[in-house]
Amino acid sequence: MPEIMNYDPNLTCSGSMASQTVRLTFALWQYRSQAEVIIGGNCTGLEVISAAVGSVYDKLEQRSIYNSADTYAVLLMADPNDPTQTLECGDDDPDGATGDDWLGNMLIAAEIIAIAPR
């Protein structure tokens, strides 16, 4: 049986601060990208996951737009069945989502895997 994490509410209530490790999985078709980030503060649940998506977005590689000073973020994904097959996704969603929203639209799994006092 897997070990169960103690998600102690005392670590985030009454102004207490905690460091929470969040594992995120992004996907398009069969391609996947996984990231783990540490989020500090006194938020919980979906707020932590949303902050984690923003943190991953901020760390994505930026590519230049041809003949422009503008850039766009790129997420690289691999096929788990054939890691030599990769997919490059750019922050250029035709539906207009950008930034954290663009990345969040590809989120298929999120789990807070650890919490510790700061």
Q: Give the β-pairing of 71-79 and 61-64.
A: antiparallel
* Per-residue confidence (pLDDT) for residue 60, from 0 to 100: 96
Query: d(Cα 43, Cα 20) in Å, to the nearest integer?
Result: 9
pLDDT of residue 68: 74
d(CA 105, CA 86): 19
88 burial via Cβ count (<10 Å: 0-12, 13-18, 19+): exposed
Tens-place pLDDT, residues 31-79: 999 999 999 999 999 999 999 999 999 999 998 877 777 788 999 999 9
What is residue 72's predicted lDDT score, i.e. its pLDDT? Answer: 86
pLDDT band at 94 (very low <50, low <70, confident <90, very high): low
Residue ranges per structural domain of the chain: 16-117
Residue range 2-38, pLDDT digits in tens: 789 999 999 998 788 999 999 999 999 999 999 999 9
* Whether pLDDT at 93 is above 70: no
* pLDDT on residue 79: 97
The two structure tokens encoding residue 51: 């902050």
